[in-house]
Amino acid sequence: MRVRGYRIARLRNQKGLGVLDAVVVILVVSILIAVVVPYYQKMIREGREAALKAELVNVRQAVRLFEMLNQRKPKDLQELIRKKLLDPTRQDTFFESRFLNPYAVDEQGRPLDPFGGAYRYDPERGDVQSPTGGYEAW
């Protein structure tokens, strides 16, 4: 058989060639998975860390705003979600919003961090922390 001037020799004994192809494909796919999965997990963790930083800032600012407007700290974080805030954005117009609009809440209505744990709140100090190991001091 000739293709563009080159002769392609046919293999006479092709028994086991399919098994060899399958082993090579499995080996290549395994190497790709071994390289890609740790990178993917690292990217997910970095994304959650960035979201945690942003959410901690938002929750802490909501606690401060609540304290400024009500002359007391909220009893719990659920109060920030329940309590409405009148926001004068334009003259003669008020829009209702809440002090805190969390991305996720648990069954009790507590806001969750990006890792799935309910934020810890100290009502005496007004301090908010993540319950996720390694991020408590953020």
- Evaluate if residue 2 carries a pLDDT over 70: no
CB 85 within 8 A of CB 97: yes
The rounded distance, in Å, linking the Cα atoms of 67 and 63 is: 6
> How much is the pLDDT for 97?
79
The first and second tokens of residue 136, run together, are 């408590």
The rounded distance, in Å, linking the Cα atoms of 24 and 81 is: 56
Q: Between 121 and 103, whose confidence is greater?
A: 121
CB 127 within 8 A of CB 77: no
Identify residue 131 by its one-letter amino acid code.
P
Sequence ranges of the domains in the chain: 46-129
- Evaluate if residue 15 carries a pLDDT over 70: no
Identify residue 100 by its one-letter amino acid code.
L
Question: Would the pTM of this model clear 0.75, i.e. be above it?
Answer: no
